[in-house]
Amino acid sequence: MKNKLGKTELWSELKRVLLFSLPFFVLLLLYVIMDPFMVLYEYKDFNKNTYIHKNLDFISTKKYMVNADSLSYDSFIFGGSTALYISPKTWREYLGKEDEPYSFIASGEHINGIWSKIKYIHRSGADIKNTIIVLDTEGSFHEFINDNPIFMKHYKVFPSSALMFHYLTFTQFVNVRFLRALVHYELSGNFHDYMGTYLVWKECYYDNISNEYYNVGILEEIRNDSIGYYKRRPGSFVRNRLEKEHYISPQLNEEYVQKLKEIKRIFDEHRTEYKIIIGPNYYQKVFNKSDLVKIRAVFGDDNVFDFSGQNHFSKEKSNFYDNVHFKKYVGDQLIDIVYSQNKDDK
């Protein structure tokens, strides 16, 4: 009798809990229907709702998976958001006629991401004829934490939990600040300052074949008022950036060196022509020398190009969109420099 009474009380409490949770289930349903981060369904065009920050790693990987069979990509650009400005279109001019470039980039790309992508392409049996790897002075070899929904690796490429990926992406959606910004933008169609953290505030799109990035909104703003562009971003372009060369501490541990060696082994197997670029950075920080020696020991001096520290790229503020990303024409010049040695052979 007592037991039965207990069970009745349990069910009535469960009903109350479910009733209370109803709005959250509605939110879940909305998420499933809307798929704002484009992680639930298959898409041919990923340029939907470009004002929502998406996981670039996931989108790049998904796009590659969708197109790999029909387009036979064989030339790849790897790297973080700075690699967005290494244009596949420009690169094509330096490649063979048949070569098909793909920008396999990810936000805040880590060596673990690059390594897993190269291994994935290799495993899938695709050819790797040409590769550009863009390394960041500080960002490519730091401690790897795979728990941020914007930076998380695609679980089919980097061994990780699909459930965790989708759970964390969903938690991004239920953030009330994100929802507020999204609903406000959807209703008003205007951007407000506070939305900047949660939404992409300048128009942009990605090519559905090469995954090339076009930051049209930013380019338009610069075209209209190039001086004002910098004035409006005092936080990005701090004045007291390092006048002297600034050295950062070594980051390349044994695990990362092994991963670089594994990448090299795959390149050798594919007879890949590869270029490793350490991009210029606004703060003029210098890539750690001992790390550079290790990278050169793996890939060879001729294939590693260090543009970190003070140089004509990093000196000019106008070469950067912000304090992280160099401009596309800088990317074009970098391609030209690294290929200038064997340009005539092509």
Binding site for other proteins (CB under 8 A): 2-3, 5-7, 9-10, 13-14, 16-17, 20, 23-24, 145, 147-149, 163, 167-168, 171-172, 174-178
Enumerate residues 6+ apart whose C-beta is below 8 A from 275: 131, 132, 133, 303, 305, 338, 339
- Rounded-to-integer distance, Cα 84 and Cα 103, Å: 8
**Least distance in angstroms from the C-beta of 86 to other proteins:** 29
How far is residue 160's CA from residue 201's CA, in Å, rounded to a whole number? Answer: 31
Task: Pick the closer one to other proteins by CB: 5 or 187.
Answer: 5
Min CB(10)–other proteins separation in Å: 4
Our CB check for other proteins shows the closer of 145 and 227 to be: 145
Residue placing its CB nearer to other proteins in the complex, 194 or 247? 194
- Picking from 88, 72, 150, 86, the residue whose alpha carbon sits closest to that of residue 113 is 150
Burial of 55 (0-12, 13-18, 19+ CB in 10 A): buried
Q: How far is the CB of 240 from other proteins (least distance, A)?
A: 12
SS3 label, residue 306:
strand
The DSSP code for 295 is H
- Measured from the CB atom, is 141 or 173 closer to other proteins? 173
Closer to other proteins by Cβ: residue 197 or 311: 197
Closest to other proteins by CB, 174 vs 293, is 174
Rounded Cα gap, residues 331 and 254, in angstroms: 30
User: Helices marked H in 161-210 — which ranges?
Assistant: 162-173, 176-188
Nearest to other proteins of 14, 297 (CB atom): 14
Least Cβ distance, residue 241 to other proteins (angstroms):
15
Instruction: State in angstroms the smallest separation of the CB of 147 from other proteins.
Output: 4
- Residue 92 or 166: the one with the smaller Cβ distance to other proteins is 166
**Rounded Cα–Cα distance for residues 37 and 56 (Å):** 10
Residue keyed to tokens 């990317």: 331
* 32 Cβ contact partners less than 8 Å away, ≥ 6 residues apart: 40
**Bridge pairing between strands 246-247 and 285-286:** parallel
Q: How far is the CB of 16 from other proteins (least distance, A)?
A: 7
In whole angstroms, how close is the CB of 110 to other proteins at the nearest point? 16
CB of 6 to other proteins, least distance (A): 3
CA dist list (Å): 32 to 79, 84, 128, 179: 30, 29, 36, 15
